Amino acid sequence: MKKMIVAFSAIAAVVTAPAFAGDEMAGMSMSGKPSATKASVSTALTDAEVKNVDTATGMVTLKHGALENVGMPPMTMAFMAKDAAMARQVHEGDKVKVRVENVNGTLTIVKMEKQS
């Protein structure tokens, strides 16, 4: 019986507690527009170094910094290039800036800029 009373008391406390206190959300934008941080993550390019290029398969191995938009820490990994021309434009040792996105379940280089 004591357990039942404790359980009911806990439920009553949760149910009767206010969802928001006064103006806790005052000043927050509810416009639905992404913040500058979200926008920069969605368009940011990451520094990388080309470690290997397989033009036959369109795979480019990169030693890259953090890929925030796909939640990947810095590492070395092979990615599919969006198109074969992109893979032919770079060579082992090139410094590049890349944008990797999840395209139909495959991490794909959708943008790559060769650095001088």
Res 77: pLDDT: 97
Q: What is the pTM of this model?
A: 0.65
Q: Are 71 and 100 in contact, with CB atoms under 8 Å apart?
A: no
* Domain boundaries defined on the chain: 42-114
Average pLDDT over residues 13-27: 48
Looking up tokens 């357990």, which residue turns up?
A: 3
Average pLDDT over residues 59-72: 96
pLDDT above 80: residue 32: no
- Find, among 89, 88, 91, 108, the residue nearest to 99 by Cα: 108
pLDDT in tens, 42-52: 678 999 999 99
Res 116: pLDDT: 78
pLDDT above 50: residue 82: yes
CATH of domain 42-114: 2.40.50.320
